Structure 1
């Protein structure tokens, strides 16, 4: 298990052991018992904390449950305790594709800091993930506000805080908005552990004949060059190995949202080998909820849904394949 004591902060980011951890859609219904299903894994990424629709500076899970309501309805604290008792830990993920990330909705930096702090203290989190996409990605004022507040949050803490930013990527690399998000974080002097690439749903950015693995490898290599330049522009000349260590890869297992895009177990194994060969700092996937075959009541397995992969598989098989060689 990687805790705060395992981190050594430098001026250009946190040095950490590579880790594996799948995302959980914590508010999907029927509720997912991640405290049991993910027990024994070193990391579990819980998504997503967003702004309360009725109180933009208050954190909520998915826009549905305040922190107290999440305890009552989702048994959030008990499930997290179960993971920790089994030797693992949680990563709290802010943002996601639905709802507004707190920095987008809350324009008061002091109240934003209070909101982030409340979540970290509530769950005793030492690793956080900011999944910035959709409208949040385009809001430069919010992105700047988030960067400045995260720098303050890291500075005020007695223990290090490992910060990851999760961004969409294409085979040609990061587009302009994601590049600007990283640049703003580095300019604000956030100790950025790394950039987690959403290697999924490429749609028209991927040539029709290119496999998902080949597209993901190309995306990672393209982003590696961009991130090397971004850290250099921020005054940090990193080696190729150091930049790879600041990259994470996150595929969507099974049937993706983009028609015709599928990551099967063979592709997952190949992506895992690539990640280990390159020395990436993190591998995740969307999502633990989906790491099983579909039942008839889940709907058409050829269409992506929140509850199954759309493939014939053993329950938990993607977790084993993608996590091979990490956290050892």
Structure 2
């Protein structure tokens, strides 16, 4: 396609030639130039008077695609629970006596590069009855920064209320203060999981206070898009759970608290001849399963059972026992496996930590 070339005007005929070649209705070139200058000046003035927070157009450059940022609800001061999906323990859960080991660090049995769960306990009532302390000692809660290295490595930790000593719900009779005490501990460790280790000795008023406080914390967490997972660790034997603990679970559920798991704390002891001392665990699971289903008002698939054998000494669990315990837990689909009481030997702990779901 050929393009017509405008003849170069002479010094005395340029203006005349420009008017002759310009199409009708087209403004003179001088007016176009003046209008362009005026537009640039007006734009500069407009940008100059924009407020400092306004976004000003950038210079022309290659467009950059920026994906939209996810919209998350704003947290409230009372919000508890840690964001993210990892709020339910799995595999082997190592119990740490925080009162004896205040400078908590993951034990050497932790497999590098593998997510591993810990529970820190026991949180009980302090002198005033409404302050959470470690195992009844007047030692304040340690800051959550102790867990930063653990979480950076892919691990996670929860808190255990109760155990030996006074449980907060039994001593703190004011519901608001009780809820605040639980909230303080959960917030201090940014915990998304808490456990209550109880022994069936709580009265109805204590059960209802604890249930109401748990339900309140779970609602606060849900309001900010978080999850606060709650479990109960209860003593069990060949007959399953005590009637008092079954009733406690039912009352807690009916009060609005969501219980994800019940962990059976079954005592085992070595030195019982050739008969396996792990048989009480299997018997406890068989007996407790229908009891938990009835107490939590669900079906067999909704109820989750975990195992927390109670050891009186490190020799109560041998490496052979540990292998059998891991195999049983895997075969029965237990939610997780843990131990309470005495700390297992290093070799046993290595085998138990190898349990993954």
Normalised by the shorter chain, which TM-score bucket?
Answer: 0.7 to 0.9
2:244 is equivalent to residue 171 of structure 1: no
Structure 1: distance between partners of 2:179 and 2:220: 11
Secondary structure (helix, strand or coil) at the match of 1:223 reads helix
- For structure 1, which runs of at least 5 residues remain unmatched after alignment? 8-13, 293-314
Q: Does 1:270 align with 2:324?
A: yes
The answer (yes or no) to whether the contact 1:22–1:45 under 8 Å persists in 2 is yes
Q: Please list the CA deviations of residues 173-208 of structure 1 after superposition, one character each: whole Å capped at 9, or x if unmatched.
A: 0011211221112111211111011021589xxx99
1:6 aligned residue (78, 85, 92): 85
Are positions 1:220 and 2:315 aligned together?
no
The answer to whether 1:94 aligns with 2:154 is no
Deviation at 1:18, TM superposition (A): 3.3
Moved more, 150-159 or 162-171: 150-159
User: Aligned-pair RMSD on alpha carbons?
Assistant: 2.7
Q: Is the alpha carbon distance of 1:189 and 1:95 closer, same or farther for their aligned partners in structure 2, counting shifts above 3 Å? A: same
> Could you tell me how far apart the structure 1 residues matched to 2:144 and 2:183 are?
16
Q: Tell me, what secondary structure is at the counterpart of 1:290?
A: coil
Alignment partners' CA distance in 2, 1:108 and 1:281: 34
Q: Does the Cα contact within 8 Å between 1:36 and 1:79 map onto a contact in 2? A: no
Residue by residue, what CA displacement relative to the aligned partner does 1:219-241 show, whole Å, maximum 9, x if unpaired? 01111111122233xxx3x1x34
Report if aligned partners of 2:310, 2:340 keep a CA contact under 8 Å in 1.
yes
Q: Indicate the residue corresponding to 1:117 in structure 2.
A: 183
1:129 to 195, 217, 222: 195
Residue 335 of structure 2: aligned partner: 281
Structure 2 counterpart SS, 1:47: strand
Q: Which has the larger radius of gyration?
A: 2
Q: CA deviation at 1:42?
A: 1.3
Residues 151-300 of structure 1: pairs in structure 2 closer than 5 A = 151-157=215-221, 158=224, 159-200=226-267, 211-232=276-297, 236=298, 238=299, 240-243=300-303, 246-253=304-311, 255=313, 262-286=316-340, 290-292=343-345
Instruction: Identify unmatched segments of 5+ residues in structure 2.
Output: 1-81
For 2:230 and 2:240, the matched residues in 1 are separated by 21
Counterpart in the other structure of 1:318: 348
Query: Which residue of structure 1 lines up, in the alignment, with residue 206 of structure 2?
Result: 142
SS of match in other structure, 2:136 = coil
SS in structure 2 at match of 1:167: strand
Q: Which residue of 2 aligns with 1:306?
A: none
3-state SS of paired residue (2:160): strand
Of 106, 113, 120, 1:46 maps to: 120
Structure 1 contact 212–263 (Cα < 8 Å) conserved: no
Displaced runs of 4 or more, over 4 A: 38-41, 207-210
Which structure has the highest helix share of the two? 1
SS of the residue corresponding to residue 24 of structure 1 reads: strand
1:101 offset after TM fit, Å?
Answer: 0.8
